[in-house]
Amino acid sequence: MAGLAVLGVLTGLTGCGDADSAEQDDGTVPTTARTLAVLATEVLGIEPDSFESPGEDEGIGVGIRFNAGEGDDGDLVVLTVAEADGLPACADAACADWSAEEGDFQLVWDTEAPEEDPGLLVLRHFDDGVLEEVFYAGQPITGDPREQAGLEVPVSRFEELLANDRLGLAAPAELADAPLPGWSGDAS
């Protein structure tokens, strides 16, 4: 499945983030997989079925499964945050870069292969030395996802998540303390 292969090459941002959670003077804590999961479920409006550790590279990340059913793993969102020098170059024909007030964005997608793979999208946001990235696989991607009607989580909502002021290498302490149904203390 192409979506699973992409998880391993999401620009090396997929660590789990076991940072010290002591609150700083500015009311923030180091970002963890849990704070990422709280923010993602809130902004995207998804109800998690399970959480996953996306890997062991640089950065902080969490995988969230939702819409699972009998015999179906459901949809997958992976959110990662790491220090970086910028966005990677657009090397794929299914790639778009743009700048906004919130920083620079890049969208990469792979369309569905019927009966084999639903396709995927990766949206990246770079601002002030931090690269935030969301990967999505679940509903079929039939073309440019920005123009695709009917996606349960549209690209605009992923963009809202990545541009959220609470996302970064430090998170507001209230994210660390917020309830998160289904969280067992790790992302596996």
What percentage of the chain has pLDDT greater than the value 90? 69
The pLDDT assigned to 184 comes to 83
Residues with Cβ within 8 Å of 149's Cβ and at least 6 positions away in sequence, in order, are none
Contact 70, 39 (CB under 8 A): no
Residues with Cβ within 8 Å of 147's Cβ and at least 6 positions away in sequence, in order, are none
- pTM of the model as a whole: 0.85
Element (H, E) at 41: helix 33-44
pLDDT at 11 over 60: no
More confident call, 23 vs 154: 154
Q: What CA–CA distance (Å, rounded) separates 71 from 92? A: 33
Element (H, E) at 159: helix 155-162
The pLDDT assigned to 186 comes to 59
Rounded mean pLDDT, 93-100: 91
Q: 104-109, long-range: CB within 8 Å, 24+ apart, which pairs?
A: 105/159, 105/162, 107/145, 107/146, 107/155, 109/141, 109/144, 109/145
Q: Where are the domains of the chain?
A: 2-19+31-177
- CATH code for 2-19+31-177? 3.40.1000
Residues with Cβ within 8 Å of 72's Cβ and at least 6 positions away in sequence, in order, are none
pLDDT (tens digit per residue) in 26-84? 889 999 999 999 999 999 999 999 999 887 676 899 999 999 988 888 999 999 999 99
